[in-house]
Structure 1
Amino acid sequence: MSNIKSIAVIGAGPCGAGLTKALVSEHAFERIKVFERRPKFGGLWNYTRFKSNSDVKRDIPSINPHSKIDKIEAKGELFYESPVYKYLDANVPKTLMAYNNYPFPENVPLFPKHEQILEYIENYSKDIEQYVSFNEEVTSLEFDSTTKKWKILSQNLNDKLEISEEFDAVAIAIGSYDKPFIPDVEGVKEWNEKYPGSIIHAKSYDEPSQFKDSRNILVVGNSASGADIAFQLATTLNRIIYKSIRSENAMPAGKDDRITDVGDLLRFEPETKTVYFKDGQSLTDVDSIIFATGYLKSIPFIKNEKLITDGAKVHGLYRHLVYYHNPTLAVIGVPRFVLPTRLSETQGCWLSKLWSGRLSLPSFEEMESYNHGLEGDERQHHDLKYPKDVDYSNILNEEAKKVKGEYGHFAVHWDEEQRRVRSNIKYIKEGYIKYQKETGKLAQNLEELENGGYIDYPKEIN
């Protein structure tokens, strides 16, 4: 690892920024280059307001993780579609989203709006701008067994010039919210062909007004985006919104009597415009269907390495991070149910010390055993629900602190107070929504909600 002198980081979103800061602070690498296909920092937080109005042919079902995501064109603009929608705000308090020693401004609400998060990431990233090549998309990543280097092919999206470069190590920080997952439910393909445009993924949702002419709207999914989209539709359009659920939602969400829960999907019957559910219910005359069913793990530019098969997980990662078949490759921000900003900083601090030679890996057998020993099925392989996310981060933090030499970048260590807030996010956000609904104001901090009696906090830590 001490032979690593040149590093490529693919992606300058919140994960790429946190990682790059740690790599730069290590002062051990001769060259660091960050590839970013967008023209600015922020990744998915770059809201694309015309996305829902674009006339794009969509793959339904969407189950292929290997197909490339291209720019779309709408209203004369060409851009990479973002999953951020018009009225999205964070589902994590700003105190837990913040990077180490870089708090959000005091005038930002407890749960920041998407434009405030983008501004925060942009400001945080300013001092690494010299390392970033914007409007440059990686098209191929392949390890050369002869030179023992990673060959990257990229394209400048302004002049279409193709570039070939080699690096000792590569960190992929493209996030997990790019390739929509729409399951292959019986009849969904035929429904989409018969009623084009009636089915979208949550990535293409923008605001309730785009559904103002729909009579019956079905949201499929009960996690963060599904619950939030259903709440927005019900409260803004003032009508019944149907939500297909498979399990209870552990994420914070607004509650409204106009949201009607139905069962898990069984099949679509386009001839009668009827959707059937596994609990025996059915819904007729459905005009619009929004799949809030998550995303596929997708790294379409990588060659010869079997990191992705069906898109359920990233294979071969030790600690959800290092590719143990070749530890000069890492994938940042893979776990679900985590805080990406803080996690990327933690992973970046640990990885920078590994690649500088100050931290060592266990044997191949131990790393492989760790990966195979993770609980859950393929799609749950990277799930780190609280308290697993906190425990995981603190393990990496402790190992990073123990290396020889008290220098480099360090991430936030989770203390008891932060754990208490983390374990209560669902109740805090729901109290925040209720406070906003009743007062018309956005709470700036926890004390404002506590004093108004809007949250029963703190609860016992799990």
Structure 2
Amino acid sequence: MSFNLNKIKDIAVIGGGPCGAGLTKALVGERAFNRIQVFERRPKTGGLWNYTPLKTCTNIKRAVPSIDPSVRIQKVEVKGEKFFESPVYKYLDANVPKDLMAYNGYPFPEDNPLFPTHHQILKYIENYSKDIEELISFNTEVVSVEHNKQTSKWEVISKNLQTEVETVDQFDAVAVATGQYEHPLIPDAEGLAHWNETLPGTIIHAKSYDDPQQFKDIKGEILIVGNSASGADIAYQLSTKLQRTVYKSVRSENLMPAGKDNRIIDVGDLLRFEPETKTVYFKDGKSLSNVDKVIFATGYLKTLPFLKGAETDMITDGQKLHHLYKHLIYYPNPTLAIVGIPRFVLPTRLSETQGCWLSKLWSGRLTLPSEQVMKQYCESLEGKERNHHDLIFPRDVEYSNDLNHEAESVRGDYGYFAVHWDEQQIKIRGGIKEIKEAYLKYHTETGKRAMSLKELEDSGYLAYPEQVESKL
């Protein structure tokens, strides 16, 4: 079946958070579409950065293990207030320097520290999104998205979460920008389900973590499963703020920055759970007894619960999205795009880059190769399933600049343009781990938040590693 991308005039964007904002700005800047309708289920912009202190009081009962991507996430209710739980927690700040997080031509305020707090990030995204708010239907959840072969239109059914009224609309193309930090992944392990039944409430996902004080009364051991950004950060917060030992189950090296504390003890990959003795066994033959809390910082499932029809073949077990050319275009039907899927990237900047490329494709200024070539591209990607979409530095920079080059090569010098990675930005990108760890040490020892890279360098806390220089 062929698709005429030159006839795309009405576009639905699902998600009004950081990725949806960058994408929508690019679509608007193309000046080629009659209607761009954004659906956002929260009452305002900002997406997952919409943190609420009520999160500390949530007591969500999740399936354990949690491996089904078809489950639709519902609002939670705390003290009479209903909201969508965010993975953002009380003391979270950015893992990326503000200059690299910023959208093109829209810097963070100068009085924000080098790594802004989550409150500052939310305000930044809200301000950036102000001029597209008129395109957004807030408090509106997309219930169903299905392509009609007879009309070549996408039928989008949405529901107003305040009135419960459903609306049916037709679009030429659909771009999904809902992010992938919604559906917690708790992988299975021998004895895990039995542990959860025997010791209810002792297993949670990092999405439900908020404040170390949640765990101040835990007498036994705390085990964190996962060694990436959230796992390492939660371990650091618990050890330093509660002045206690915590254990972290590690399967691979952490590529993300993390604070260091001698009370964080790394243990091996999980083997099995034995609730009768409250003991967790690891694949290296060791074990941990008297475990009172297990926090799974094991990431999220990729999920599109509203997608119906033939396109559901994109989702299988939630580990990767199938048939995505350039991690973006569903090549069996290129009027469907999924923005913000790659991991180990900068989502704000990536959404702009992907949005610029997509807007030029859907306006007809860019063309796609044959379906066979796109299929071969997907099959050629390194990694399978969970790490299929990983773009570990410098692949993220190469990917973004490749899209930028293609977007800039089209006829006409108009439209929205994303940031192109230059040598200085690549140097900073390659040194993020060292920069953030220097920032954390500086904050711990001085009580101050560094405002710039120069402040860290001048104070002697930061020196770029040799391998960063070698990648330029």
Class of the TM-score when normalised by the shorter of the 2 chains: over 0.9
Q: Which moved more, 1:279-288 or 1:36-45?
A: 279-288
The alignment's TM-score, normalised by the length of structure 1, stands at 0.99
**Per-residue CA distance 1:109-167 (angstroms, 9 max, x = gap):** 00000010000000000000110000000000000000000000110001100100000
CA distance in 1, matches of 2:69, 2:89: 23
For 2:162, the equivalent position in structure 1 comes to 158
Q: Would you say 1:117 and 2:121 are equivalent positions?
A: yes
Secondary structure of 1:257's partner?
coil
Q: Would you say 1:301 and 2:312 are equivalent positions?
A: no
Q: How big is the shift at 1:377?
A: 1.7
Give the partner amino acid of 1:447: K
Contact 1:419 1:461 in 2 (8 A): no
Q: Would you say 1:186 and 2:190 are equivalent positions?
A: yes
For 1:362, the equivalent position in structure 2 comes to 369
Contact 1:423 1:461 in 2 (8 A): no
Contact 2:353 2:404 in 1 (8 A): yes
Q: Would you say 1:456 and 2:463 are equivalent positions?
A: yes
Mapping 1:212-361, distance limit 5 Å: 212-215=216-219, 216-304=221-309, 305=311, 306-361=313-368
Q: 409, 414, 427: which is aligned to 1:407?
A: 414
Q: 123, 131, 137: which is aligned to 1:133?
A: 137
**Per-residue CA distance 1:295-314 (angstroms, 9 max, x = gap):** 01000010121111000101
CA distance in 2, matches of 1:193, 1:185: 14
For 1:170, the equivalent position in structure 2 comes to 174
For 1:4, the equivalent position in structure 2 comes to 8
For 1:398, the equivalent position in structure 2 comes to 405
For 2:50, the equivalent position in structure 1 comes to 46
Q: How big is the shift at 1:456?
A: 1.1
For 2:205, the equivalent position in structure 1 comes to 201
CA distance in 2, matches of 1:391, 1:291: 32
For 1:388, the equivalent position in structure 2 comes to 395
Q: How big is the shift at 1:247?
A: 1.1
Provide the identity percentage.
67
CA distance in 2, matches of 1:461, 1:98: 25
Secondary structure of 1:50's partner?
helix
Contact 2:69 2:183 in 1 (8 A): yes
Q: 13, 25, 33: which is aligned to 2:17?
A: 13
CA distance in 1, matches of 2:336, 2:392: 25
Q: How big is the shift at 1:44?
A: 0.5
**Per-residue CA distance 1:361-416 (angstroms, 9 max, x = gap):** 00100000000110012111000000000000000001111100100000000000
Give the partner amino acid of 1:48: T
Give the partner amino acid of 2:256: M
**Per-residue CA distance 1:232-266 (angstroms, 9 max, x = gap):** 00000101000000011111000000000100010
CA distance in 1, matches of 2:470, 2:42: 40
Mapping 1:71-86, distance limit 5 Å: 71-86=75-90
**Per-residue CA distance 1:286-333 (angstroms, 9 max, x = gap):** 111100000010000101211110001011100000000000000000
Contact 2:58 2:208 in 1 (8 A): no
Secondary structure of 1:394's partner?
helix
After TM superposition, the runs of 4+ consecutive aligned structure 1 residues lying more than 6 A away are none
CA distance in 2, matches of 1:53, 1:103: 35
Secondary structure of 2:291's partner?
coil
CA distance in 1, matches of 2:91, 2:56: 14
Contact 1:219 1:244 in 2 (8 A): yes
For 2:152, the equivalent position in structure 1 comes to 148
User: RMSD in angstroms over aligned alpha carbons?
Assistant: 0.8
Contact 2:14 2:175 in 1 (8 A): yes
Contact 1:136 1:154 in 2 (8 A): yes
CA distance in 1, matches of 2:230, 2:122: 18
**Per-residue CA distance 1:217-238 (angstroms, 9 max, x = gap):** 1110000100000000000010
CA distance in 1, matches of 2:359, 2:384: 30
Question: Which sections of structure 2, spanning at least 5 residues, go unmatched?
Answer: none
Give the partner amino acid of 1:233: L
Contact 1:151 1:167 in 2 (8 A): yes
Secondary structure of 2:440's partner?
helix
Secondary structure of 1:69's partner?
coil
Give the partner amino acid of 1:133: S
**Per-residue CA distance 1:190-209 (angstroms, 9 max, x = gap):** 11111111110000000100
CA distance in 2, matches of 1:209, 1:418: 38
Contact 2:181 2:300 in 1 (8 A): yes
Q: How big is the shift at 1:281?
A: 1.1
CA distance in 2, matches of 1:72, 1:51: 9
Q: Would you say 1:211 and 2:215 are equivalent positions?
A: yes
Contact 2:155 2:169 in 1 (8 A): yes
Q: 427, 436, 446: which is aligned to 2:453?
A: 446
Q: Which moved more, 1:74-83 or 1:410-419?
A: 74-83
CA distance in 2, matches of 1:223, 1:75: 33
Q: How big is the shift at 1:458?
A: 5.9
CA distance in 1, matches of 2:258, 2:59: 31
